[in-house]
Structure 1
């Protein structure tokens, strides 16, 4: 079974539909129960099976009990895809403290809590695969995404550390770093619409990102960077940050 957080819309919804088409059984989590039912109906109308559970990933104190409850009902997870996340594109000094806290609660602490709750079951079976949806923003921070970038830096650091901790087991850990994806994510992140307008031609289709993640499910790897050219660009930034900031300064200021 493939557990997916943030499965009511966007990439999570696309993943749920695609893994069901591939013959797996998705177990879907999100806050919006109505939308979860819609995803379940889409899957079942195509002949698949899906389980849905309402879960607010930011309420970390309830996650362990929720995971145990779902395991008791449907069985343990083979794969956990930590997909839930959101952004607010704003200058650092104009972001409210409660917004910063919410971004970290969902993007980082919720992901950690889901992973911690899943690991005892995976360790017991000595099998499993944890896939954390990070972002290219976790490698190359840009203006008006300071807090979001910080959360994705945290996700990458956490993912890399957990991978090393599990090196002597058969449990796989993958970080997925997509660039901007054409999903409802930007309805909240970019409420003015200026960023989407500037980078629309570079946006990834959720169907493409989902298909690439399914390839990683079938053949696990350490990290998946999408698109490939953006992965190359972030590597260059890590090697020559000052030069990249100088040459690509205007391109980095498109929010």
Structure 2
């Protein structure tokens, strides 16, 4: 189903994004890995050492339109098309409104919202031309309810949910599917936390989120999955 499709995965240096890349590669997908640091080349190296040679790493800042344009051009130059975009890159922090600086607020919106907008916009011409494409954004369960000390992060996820909904309605006539995966607590790198800590033993794993992405991308052409909300059984959360 996914074999020989081309996917751009942002935030693929580690954690959820890296695992998404691995699982897509296992399905025969050609990859363009995007990261903001040189660590992205480490992911590329690991995948190629595992036999996944159709892998290209691009260091880029997704909040910058010129960088995003370069990523898409590299993808088209290398593989000739773009079939899948996974908007995974994101940042977050937990502070009260009073403690949050204007610069912190701006930064989280630049990555979590502007980055999703720029990447999604950039792949549309190619997807419209080929009358096919899938855009998947890794958002959060806080796109459905609010939490204290997370105003900036929560606001970005509400914004992403609204953006993806509108985009979906705009592009479905071109055969482009748009959806979000909204996880609860995931054992991954987030804010200043690390992956694999004992207190995260019962949380979702990066493998769980990657499987959801593969399932969504693998859906037959006549089916569109608008949203998946995934929680660990151990998490208590408000019912939307």
TM-score (norm 1): 0.82
Aligned to 2:45: 41
Give, in whole Å, the separation in 2 of the partners of 1:223 and 1:215.
Answer: 12
Contact 2:36 2:59 in 1 (8 A): yes
RMSD across aligned positions (CA): 2.3
Give, in whole Å, the separation in 1 of the partners of 2:173 and 2:236.
Answer: 30
1:163 and 2:164 correspond: no
Task: After superposition, give the CA deviation of every residue in 1:212-253 in whole Å (9 maximum; x if it has no partner).
Answer: 21111111411111128799955x33xxxxxxxxxxxxxxxx
Aligned to 2:77: 72
More strand by share: 2
TM-score (norm 2): 0.87
Farther-moved stretch of structure 1 (77-86 vs 39-48): 39-48
Give, in whole Å, the separation in 1 of the partners of 2:84 and 2:200.
Answer: 32
Contact 1:60 1:109 in 2 (8 A): no
Aligned to 1:247: none
1:97 and 2:102 correspond: yes
More helix by share: 1
Contact 1:17 1:39 in 2 (8 A): no
> Aligned-pair distance for 1:204?
0.7
Change (3 A) 1:88 1:223: same
> Aligned-pair distance for 1:13?
0.6
Contact 1:225 1:231 in 2 (8 A): no
- Residue 118 of structure 2 is aligned with which of 113, 117, 125? 113
Aligned to 2:141: 136
Contact 2:181 2:212 in 1 (8 A): no
Aligned to 1:242: none
Change (3 A) 1:121 1:232: farther
- Residue 61 of structure 2 is aligned with which of 49, 56, 61? 56
Give, in whole Å, the separation in 1 of the partners of 2:66 and 2:37.
Answer: 19
Give, in whole Å, the separation in 1 of the partners of 2:63 and 2:27.
Answer: 30
Structure showing greater Rg = 1
> Aligned-pair distance for 1:63?
2.1
Segments of 5+ residues of structure 1 without an aligned counterpart are 238-255
Q: SS where residue 32 of structure 2 aligns? A: strand
Aligned to 1:218: 218
Give, in whole Å, the separation in 1 of the partners of 2:106 and 2:234.
Answer: 29
Q: Kindly tell me the number of residue pairs found equivalent between the two proteins.
A: 228
Change (3 A) 1:27 1:65: closer
